[in-house]
Structure 1
Amino acid sequence: MNCQMLTRSVLICALFLFFTVKRSSAIDNLRVAYPSMNTSVFALVIAQKEGYFKEEGLNVELLSIRGEIAIRTTLAGEVDFFTNAGSALAAAVRNVPVKLITVFQDKPSWDLIAQPEIKSVAQLRGKNIAVMSPEGSLAVVAREMLRKNGLDPTKDVNLVTMGGDEVRFPALQTKSIQATLFNTAMSIKAQKEGFSKLGNASEYANLIEGGLATTHDKIKQNPEKIFRFVRGALKGLNYYVTKREPAIKYMMDGLRMKDRELVSLIYDIQIPLVLREGFSDDKVLQSMIDDMKKTTKVQREIKVADIFDLTFVKKANEELKSSGWKP
């Protein structure tokens, strides 16, 4: 009898240990939508390749999805997060139930590039300037740069809506437009072809260019999973800003560029703009919200906490610092 009881106890303990280990080693699958390669995506790629997400018990799938579609698929539950932070801000201001949970960059890295004969912003009076959409981040920054150089964007220039770099660069080459804003890589390419750089957007405006967003429901239903995801992403971000040479290799792969010298230049220009802790000052965030309210013509009062939930990234920072974690 005692032998049977002992055997039964051993079996119960074995089963308990089996299911405990199985549950603790379970991997949670997450899907992240991104429209283009930027700081946010490089941080995620590095976290994936270096095993940081695996350490957090996560299998993260990165999906290339256009901005407006990324928001819709996240709201539909088909993906868990998206990286186009500017679109997330605009949507949240319009009362779409999404929130930003990290801010990796709060200043735009775009350059205002113009035809070779144009040497100042003032010379853009009466000219065609291309943006991607009337209310998009590019348009917001373009208007701010024009205003701060004495031009009224509604009267003194013609803002033309076009697509991405693959559309706007040929339009610049054929002189269909006289100026546009380009990211660092395209700006360098344009300058090599003789086009003029009139200024850098980071000197004129605060704007979210890198971050992570998700839905209100996801935050309520899976806070522990979101925290693990953010902590893994923050590890990737720390690697990106502190390990220059391997980070440049990741950039070369992500951008599909073989010119290491050019990618190194892009890295060195962008790194000073990266927020290493993954969040920005509340005053800066409130100014972004207020600017977006003007752009979208929203009248209601909106506070930082209505648009951002930075509790996850702040907690992750505290844990990584207290543990002495290094990439």
Structure 2
Amino acid sequence: MAKANRLNFLFGVFLLTCALVSRSAMAAETATLTVISYPARPPKLPLWLALDAGLFEKNGLKVSIKELDSREELIRSMQKRDGEIYAATANWIVSGIGDGFELVFVANTGYSVLKLLAHPSINRAEDLKGKKVGTGEPNSSQDRITRQALQRLGINPDKDVTLVPMGGRSITRLNALLKGDIDATTSNEDNLFDLERRGGINKIRVLADNESLKLFIGAGVDFAVSRALFKNSRSAVKRFLQSMCEAIGLAREDRSQADRIYGRYLDVKDPALLDFMYRTYVQGAIPQRPFPKTENVALGIEEFSSKPGLKGKRAEDLIDRTLLTELEREGFFNRLYGKPRTPSE
């Protein structure tokens, strides 16, 4: 009798243990995440497609995306701690960290394709000396990008040219170039596509781009998660990143998926523009392995270095690559793309 009671007791403990393990597994499988996103840009395709194609759900996540309309809204959202994950340009996330929000960068899904443009009479970078170059407001990320672009071409931005602050929108600076108010500026390639379609591409000359400058910063899509989420739900963050990587693979394999997403989220219906976006972003700017970019975070630290939360901080202090590195070591990317990594990826 005593033996039977003991067996019943052990069996009860076993069932209780199984129930607890099952409950824990179910909790892990149904992790709920809110992603705060601003602005809507083509390199956000992995986030949007992972949601629409059910990849988050497949990997045990319930993800909601809250799209914001302005950087002011983004800043307020960080102040209120509205989300667990933020998808935005790195400098604004760094600003939130400077204000005390404990966030860590875990991924980057691409950049805005950059061109350094000039008046057609300017044939080489050396011809920029003595000219007016449109840039962002002093000390802004856009201003720093313009300065870095010039420096990489051997131009001293403080001595060789006159920098003309014109705000953060590249279309504003491009229009100023077309009107002759400035002699050169940076612009994203999307604006050039529109200019070419209007028959005005002969009104500017491309002096350099991301590849020739080796400059892949600014207007990108960086992902940062709260350190609390990273510490307490590391598996959920890893599954979030895995889902986005699967979305990148899906878009590269099936263009119709990318066209559908750009149609839904960016209202792009024109076949020629969809073709341009697929070549420029899915096959170009969006990386197969979306590791966070140190230079993006460093640019933000430079811009907001006076904020107390950034005192003594380096870019590496705000970045964690371990989850994507784990996926890489586990052979996830080789299985996803069916081949070993090549240096260009």
- Which of 317, 325, 331 pairs up with 1:306? 317
Q: What residue identity is the alignment partner of 2:210?
A: A
Give the deviation of 1:326 after TM superposition.
Answer: 7.1
Give the deviation of 1:27 after TM superposition.
Answer: 6.0
- Which of 58, 68, 77 pairs up with 2:81? 77
Give the deviation of 1:43 after TM superposition.
Answer: 0.6
1:207 is aligned to: 217
Q: Deviations over 1:176-218 (max 9, x none)?
A: 3333222221122234413222210332224363321133333
Kept in 2: contact 1:32–1:62 (CA 8 A):
yes
Evaluate the alpha carbon distance shift between residue 119 and residue 256 of structure 1 in structure 2; reply closer, same or farther with a 3 A threshold.
farther
CA distance in structure 2 between the aligned counterparts of 1:158 and 1:132, rounded to whole angstroms: 9
2:9 is aligned to: none
Evaluate the alpha carbon distance shift between residue 317 and residue 126 of structure 1 in structure 2; reply closer, same or farther with a 3 A threshold.
same
Kept in 1: contact 2:106–2:223 (CA 8 A):
yes
Give the deviation of 1:109 after TM superposition.
Answer: 1.9
Q: Percent identity over the alignment?
A: 16
Evaluate the alpha carbon distance shift between residue 220 and residue 25 of structure 1 in structure 2; reply closer, same or farther with a 3 A threshold.
closer
Pair 1:193-2:203 in alignment: no
Determine helix, strand or coil for the equivalent of 1:119: coil
- Which of 265, 276, 295 pairs up with 2:276? 265
1:225 is aligned to: 236
Kept in 2: contact 1:28–1:59 (CA 8 A):
yes
Give the deviation of 1:24 after TM superposition.
Answer: 7.1
CA distance in structure 2 between the aligned counterparts of 1:291 and 1:111, rounded to whole angstroms: 19
CA distance in structure 2 between the aligned counterparts of 1:295 and 1:126, rounded to whole angstroms: 27
1:278 is aligned to: 290
2:8 is aligned to: none
CA distance in structure 1 between the aligned counterparts of 2:28 and 2:313, rounded to whole angstroms: 40
Q: What residue identity is the alignment partner of 2:290?
A: G
Residues 59-68 or 197-206, more deviating: 59-68
Give the deviation of 1:35 after TM superposition.
Answer: 1.4
Evaluate the alpha carbon distance shift between residue 301 and residue 43 of structure 1 in structure 2; reply closer, same or farther with a 3 A threshold.
same
1:47 is aligned to: 50
Kept in 2: contact 1:53–1:60 (CA 8 A):
no
Give the deviation of 1:140 after TM superposition.
Answer: 2.4
- 1:17-36 to structure 2, matched below 5 A, reads 20=23, 26=30, 28-36=32-40
2:134 is aligned to: 130
CA distance in structure 2 between the aligned counterparts of 1:36 and 1:103, rounded to whole angstroms: 15
Q: What residue identity is the alignment partner of 2:185?
A: T
Evaluate the alpha carbon distance shift between residue 313 and residue 180 of structure 1 in structure 2; reply closer, same or farther with a 3 A threshold.
same
Aligned-residue Cα RMSD (Å) equals 3.8
CA distance in structure 1 between the aligned counterparts of 2:230 and 2:331, rounded to whole angstroms: 21
Evaluate the alpha carbon distance shift between residue 60 and residue 264 of structure 1 in structure 2; reply closer, same or farther with a 3 A threshold.
same
Q: What residue identity is the alignment partner of 1:188?
A: F
Kept in 2: contact 1:113–1:180 (CA 8 A):
yes
1:184 is aligned to: 189
Kept in 1: contact 2:116–2:185 (CA 8 A):
yes
Evaluate the alpha carbon distance shift between residue 258 and residue 72 of structure 1 in structure 2; reply closer, same or farther with a 3 A threshold.
same
CA distance in structure 1 between the aligned counterparts of 2:139 and 2:145, rounded to whole angstroms: 10
Determine helix, strand or coil for the equivalent of 1:153: coil
Q: TM-score, normalised by structure 2?
A: 0.73
Unaligned 5+ runs, structure 1:
1-8
Q: TM-score, normalised by structure 1?
A: 0.76
Unaligned 5+ runs, structure 2:
1-11, 339-345
Q: What residue identity is the alignment partner of 1:211?
A: D
Evaluate the alpha carbon distance shift between residue 223 and residue 68 of structure 1 in structure 2; reply closer, same or farther with a 3 A threshold.
farther
Q: What residue identity is the alignment partner of 1:278?
A: P
Kept in 1: contact 2:151–2:157 (CA 8 A):
yes
Evaluate the alpha carbon distance shift between residue 315 and residue 90 of structure 1 in structure 2; reply closer, same or farther with a 3 A threshold.
same
Determine helix, strand or coil for the equivalent of 1:100: strand
Q: What residue identity is the alignment partner of 2:46?
A: A
1:101 is aligned to: 106
2:7 is aligned to: none
Evaluate the alpha carbon distance shift between residue 227 and residue 174 of structure 1 in structure 2; reply closer, same or farther with a 3 A threshold.
same
CA distance in structure 2 between the aligned counterparts of 1:252 and 1:26, rounded to whole angstroms: 29
